[in-house]
Structure 1
Amino acid sequence: MEIPVTGFVVNNNDSDSEHSHILYLTSWNGIPIHVHEFKGVTSFDVGHDHRYASKTEPAPSGVQHVHRYCTFTSVDNEHRHLIKGVTGPAIPLRGGGHFHCFEGCTTVSGAIPHTHEYSGKTGDALDC
Protein backbone atom coordinates (compact mmCIF):
# COMPACT_ATOMS: atom_id res chain seq x y z
CA MET A 1 0.00 0.00 0.00
CA GLU A 2 1.36 3.41 -0.94
CA ILE A 3 0.51 6.52 1.08
CA PRO A 4 1.29 9.90 -0.53
CA VAL A 5 3.53 12.02 1.68
CA THR A 6 4.78 15.58 1.07
CA GLY A 7 7.47 17.50 2.87
CA PHE A 8 10.97 18.87 2.52
CA VAL A 9 14.54 17.98 3.50
CA VAL A 10 16.97 20.40 5.18
CA ASN A 11 20.71 19.99 5.76
CA ASN A 12 21.17 20.04 9.55
CA ASN A 13 24.81 21.27 9.42
CA ASP A 14 25.75 18.99 12.34
CA SER A 15 29.13 17.46 11.52
CA ASP A 16 28.97 15.19 14.60
CA SER A 17 25.61 13.69 13.62
CA GLU A 18 25.20 10.35 11.90
CA HIS A 19 22.48 11.99 9.79
CA SER A 20 23.20 15.00 7.63
CA HIS A 21 19.59 15.93 6.78
CA ILE A 22 16.30 16.44 8.59
CA LEU A 23 12.99 15.47 6.96
CA TYR A 24 9.97 17.68 7.67
CA LEU A 25 6.62 16.18 6.62
CA THR A 26 3.86 18.60 5.68
CA SER A 27 1.09 16.17 4.72
CA TRP A 28 0.25 12.49 5.11
CA ASN A 29 -2.21 10.93 2.67
CA GLY A 30 -3.32 14.41 1.58
CA ILE A 31 -4.01 15.66 5.13
CA PRO A 32 -1.86 18.56 6.46
CA ILE A 33 0.07 17.69 9.63
CA HIS A 34 1.59 19.79 12.40
CA VAL A 35 3.64 19.57 15.61
CA HIS A 36 3.72 21.56 18.86
CA GLU A 37 6.58 22.64 21.07
CA PHE A 38 6.36 21.77 24.75
CA LYS A 39 8.55 22.56 27.75
CA GLY A 40 8.47 22.75 31.51
CA VAL A 41 9.98 21.90 34.86
CA THR A 42 9.31 18.68 36.75
CA SER A 43 8.20 18.45 40.36
CA PHE A 44 10.84 19.02 43.07
CA ASP A 45 11.73 15.61 44.53
CA VAL A 46 14.78 14.23 46.35
CA GLY A 47 16.25 17.75 46.52
CA HIS A 48 16.06 18.73 42.84
CA ASP A 49 13.94 19.19 39.71
CA HIS A 50 14.60 18.86 35.96
CA ARG A 51 13.82 20.93 32.88
CA TYR A 52 12.59 19.54 29.57
CA ALA A 53 11.79 20.87 26.09
CA SER A 54 10.99 19.22 22.76
CA LYS A 55 8.38 18.92 20.01
CA THR A 56 5.46 16.52 19.75
CA GLU A 57 5.15 13.93 17.01
CA PRO A 58 3.15 15.08 13.97
CA ALA A 59 -0.64 14.79 13.90
CA PRO A 60 -3.31 15.70 11.32
CA SER A 61 -4.61 19.28 11.11
CA GLY A 62 -8.29 20.24 10.98
CA VAL A 63 -9.63 17.20 12.87
CA GLN A 64 -9.77 16.25 16.55
CA HIS A 65 -6.46 14.62 17.47
CA VAL A 66 -3.78 14.01 20.09
CA HIS A 67 0.03 13.97 19.85
CA ARG A 68 2.56 11.51 21.20
CA TYR A 69 5.65 13.03 22.84
CA CYS A 70 8.97 11.72 24.10
CA THR A 71 12.08 13.49 25.44
CA PHE A 72 14.72 13.35 28.16
CA THR A 73 14.96 15.81 31.02
CA SER A 74 18.02 17.92 31.74
CA VAL A 75 20.82 16.23 33.68
CA ASP A 76 20.54 17.36 37.29
CA ASN A 77 21.95 15.67 40.39
CA GLU A 78 24.01 13.49 37.97
CA HIS A 79 21.06 11.82 36.23
CA ARG A 80 18.17 12.37 33.84
CA HIS A 81 14.69 10.90 33.27
CA LEU A 82 12.61 9.95 30.24
CA ILE A 83 9.31 11.77 29.68
CA LYS A 84 6.90 9.98 27.36
CA GLY A 85 3.15 10.09 26.81
CA VAL A 86 0.17 11.28 24.80
CA THR A 87 -1.37 14.75 25.00
CA GLY A 88 -5.02 15.40 25.65
CA PRO A 89 -7.32 16.42 22.78
CA ALA A 90 -6.98 19.76 20.98
CA ILE A 91 -8.36 22.77 22.88
CA PRO A 92 -9.31 25.71 20.60
CA LEU A 93 -7.77 29.16 21.14
CA ARG A 94 -9.91 32.30 20.79
CA GLY A 95 -7.73 33.77 18.05
CA GLY A 96 -7.53 30.51 16.12
CA GLY A 97 -5.32 27.49 16.46
CA HIS A 98 -5.30 25.15 19.44
CA PHE A 99 -3.18 23.66 22.21
CA HIS A 100 -2.97 20.41 24.14
CA CYS A 101 -2.53 19.63 27.84
CA PHE A 102 -0.16 16.89 28.95
CA GLU A 103 0.86 15.32 32.26
CA GLY A 104 2.60 12.28 33.59
CA CYS A 105 5.39 10.80 35.64
CA THR A 106 9.00 10.38 34.53
CA THR A 107 10.89 7.10 34.47
CA VAL A 108 12.78 6.01 37.60
CA SER A 109 16.40 7.20 37.79
CA GLY A 110 19.04 8.57 40.19
CA ALA A 111 21.38 7.36 42.94
CA ILE A 112 18.27 7.37 45.12
CA PRO A 113 15.76 5.85 42.67
CA HIS A 114 12.84 8.23 42.19
CA THR A 115 10.45 9.80 39.67
CA HIS A 116 9.14 13.31 39.07
CA GLU A 117 5.67 14.47 38.05
CA TYR A 118 5.25 16.90 35.17
CA SER A 119 2.37 18.72 33.47
CA GLY A 120 1.85 21.56 31.06
CA LYS A 121 0.48 22.68 27.74
CA THR A 122 1.85 22.79 24.25
CA GLY A 123 2.89 26.11 22.73
CA ASP A 124 2.05 29.44 24.34
CA ALA A 125 -1.51 28.66 25.42
CA LEU A 126 -3.28 29.42 28.68
CA ASP A 127 -2.85 27.10 31.65
CA CYS A 128 -4.60 23.73 31.55
Structure 2
Amino acid sequence: MINVPVTGFMYDIDEDGTEHSHNLYITTWDGQPVHTHEFKGVTSFDVGHDHRYAGVTEPAPSGIQHTHRYFTFTTVDDRHKHVIRGVTGPAIFLLGGGHYHEFSGVTSVDGAIPHRHEYSGRTSL
Protein backbone atom coordinates (compact mmCIF):
# COMPACT_ATOMS: atom_id res chain seq x y z
CA MET A 1 0.00 0.00 0.00
CA ILE A 2 1.22 3.50 -0.86
CA ASN A 3 0.60 6.36 1.56
CA VAL A 4 0.16 9.67 -0.26
CA PRO A 5 -0.75 12.77 1.76
CA VAL A 6 -4.00 14.26 0.44
CA THR A 7 -5.85 17.38 1.60
CA GLY A 8 -9.30 18.53 0.65
CA PHE A 9 -12.77 19.08 1.96
CA MET A 10 -15.99 17.12 2.14
CA TYR A 11 -19.56 18.29 2.28
CA ASP A 12 -22.92 16.67 2.81
CA ILE A 13 -25.22 16.25 -0.17
CA ASP A 14 -28.65 17.30 1.00
CA GLU A 15 -30.89 15.27 -1.28
CA ASP A 16 -34.23 13.61 -0.81
CA GLY A 17 -34.03 9.86 -0.92
CA THR A 18 -32.95 6.87 1.08
CA GLU A 19 -29.19 7.13 0.61
CA HIS A 20 -26.97 9.64 2.40
CA SER A 21 -23.76 10.69 0.64
CA HIS A 22 -20.92 13.23 0.62
CA ASN A 23 -18.78 14.84 -2.06
CA LEU A 24 -15.02 14.90 -1.48
CA TYR A 25 -12.96 17.59 -3.19
CA ILE A 26 -9.21 16.96 -3.18
CA THR A 27 -7.13 20.16 -3.10
CA THR A 28 -3.59 18.73 -2.86
CA TRP A 29 -2.00 15.38 -3.75
CA ASP A 30 1.41 14.58 -2.28
CA GLY A 31 1.95 18.27 -1.54
CA GLN A 32 1.09 19.42 -5.08
CA PRO A 33 -2.05 21.44 -5.90
CA VAL A 34 -4.52 19.54 -8.06
CA HIS A 35 -6.71 20.59 -10.96
CA THR A 36 -9.43 19.27 -13.26
CA HIS A 37 -10.48 19.89 -16.86
CA GLU A 38 -13.87 20.11 -18.52
CA PHE A 39 -14.51 17.96 -21.56
CA LYS A 40 -17.41 17.73 -24.02
CA GLY A 41 -18.23 16.61 -27.52
CA VAL A 42 -20.44 14.67 -29.89
CA THR A 43 -20.11 10.96 -30.56
CA SER A 44 -19.87 9.38 -33.99
CA PHE A 45 -23.09 8.97 -35.99
CA ASP A 46 -24.09 5.30 -35.81
CA VAL A 47 -27.39 3.43 -36.23
CA GLY A 48 -29.08 6.69 -37.30
CA HIS A 49 -28.09 8.96 -34.40
CA ASP A 50 -25.34 10.49 -32.29
CA HIS A 51 -25.08 11.63 -28.66
CA ARG A 52 -23.72 14.67 -26.85
CA TYR A 53 -21.61 14.37 -23.70
CA ALA A 54 -19.94 16.63 -21.14
CA GLY A 55 -18.12 16.20 -17.86
CA VAL A 56 -15.20 17.09 -15.62
CA THR A 57 -12.08 14.96 -15.23
CA GLU A 58 -10.90 13.59 -11.92
CA PRO A 59 -8.27 15.71 -10.12
CA ALA A 60 -4.57 15.29 -10.94
CA PRO A 61 -1.39 16.99 -9.65
CA SER A 62 -0.45 20.33 -11.17
CA GLY A 63 2.97 21.27 -12.53
CA ILE A 64 4.13 17.75 -13.44
CA GLN A 65 3.38 15.34 -16.28
CA HIS A 66 0.09 13.57 -15.60
CA THR A 67 -3.13 12.12 -17.01
CA HIS A 68 -6.74 12.32 -15.80
CA ARG A 69 -9.42 9.67 -15.51
CA TYR A 70 -12.85 10.69 -16.80
CA PHE A 71 -16.40 9.32 -16.64
CA THR A 72 -19.77 10.58 -17.87
CA PHE A 73 -22.99 9.54 -19.57
CA THR A 74 -24.13 10.61 -23.01
CA THR A 75 -27.42 12.35 -23.65
CA VAL A 76 -30.45 10.12 -24.17
CA ASP A 77 -31.04 9.81 -27.90
CA ASP A 78 -33.08 7.13 -29.67
CA ARG A 79 -34.36 6.12 -26.17
CA HIS A 80 -30.97 5.12 -24.72
CA LYS A 81 -27.68 6.49 -23.41
CA HIS A 82 -24.08 5.26 -23.21
CA VAL A 83 -21.26 5.38 -20.67
CA ILE A 84 -18.05 7.20 -21.57
CA ARG A 85 -14.96 6.48 -19.47
CA GLY A 86 -11.23 6.40 -19.90
CA VAL A 87 -7.91 8.08 -19.22
CA THR A 88 -6.71 11.17 -21.06
CA GLY A 89 -3.39 11.32 -22.83
CA PRO A 90 -0.50 13.12 -21.14
CA ALA A 91 -0.56 16.89 -20.63
CA ILE A 92 0.24 18.93 -23.74
CA PHE A 93 1.87 22.09 -22.38
CA LEU A 94 1.40 25.41 -24.16
CA LEU A 95 4.16 27.99 -24.64
CA GLY A 96 2.11 30.72 -22.97
CA GLY A 97 1.29 28.53 -19.98
CA GLY A 98 -1.41 26.02 -19.24
CA HIS A 99 -2.07 22.69 -20.88
CA TYR A 100 -4.77 20.43 -22.27
CA HIS A 101 -5.21 16.69 -22.81
CA GLU A 102 -6.47 14.68 -25.76
CA PHE A 103 -8.93 11.85 -25.17
CA SER A 104 -10.66 9.24 -27.31
CA GLY A 105 -12.44 5.93 -27.02
CA VAL A 106 -15.65 4.04 -27.59
CA THR A 107 -18.83 4.17 -25.54
CA SER A 108 -20.51 1.29 -23.76
CA VAL A 109 -22.86 -0.88 -25.84
CA ASP A 110 -26.57 -0.02 -25.57
CA GLY A 111 -29.72 0.58 -27.63
CA ALA A 112 -32.57 -1.45 -29.13
CA ILE A 113 -30.04 -2.38 -31.81
CA PRO A 114 -26.98 -2.93 -29.60
CA HIS A 115 -24.17 -0.62 -30.73
CA ARG A 116 -21.44 1.73 -29.53
CA HIS A 117 -20.12 5.09 -30.67
CA GLU A 118 -16.62 6.50 -31.05
CA TYR A 119 -15.67 9.82 -29.44
CA SER A 120 -12.59 12.04 -29.24
CA GLY A 121 -11.60 15.54 -28.29
CA ARG A 122 -9.48 17.87 -26.20
CA THR A 123 -10.08 18.95 -22.65
CA SER A 124 -10.36 22.57 -21.62
CA LEU A 125 -7.14 24.38 -20.71
Q: TM-score range by the shorter chain?
A: 0.7 to 0.9
Structure 1 residue 107 and structure 2 residue 108: aligned?
Answer: yes
Identity value in percent: 66
1:53 aligns with 2:54: yes
Query: Aligned partners of 2:69, 2:105: CA distance in 1, in Å?
Result: 12
For residues 109 and 5 of structure 1, the distance between their equivalents in structure 2, rounded to whole angstroms, comes to: 37
TM-score, normalisation: structure 1: 0.85
**Structure 2: gaps spanning 5 or more residues:** none
CA distance in 1, matches of 2:35, 2:81: 28
Distance 1:95 1:19, change over 3 A: farther
Tell whether 2:117 aligns with 1:119: no
Residue equivalent to 1:66: 67
Deviations 1:99-127 (A, max 9, x none): 0000111111111111111001111x5xx
Instruction: Tell me the C-alpha RMSD between the 2 structures.
Output: 1.9
Paired residues in the alignment total 124
Tell me the equivalent position of 1:98: 99
CA offset at residue 47 of structure 1?
Answer: 0.9
Shift of 1:82: 1.1
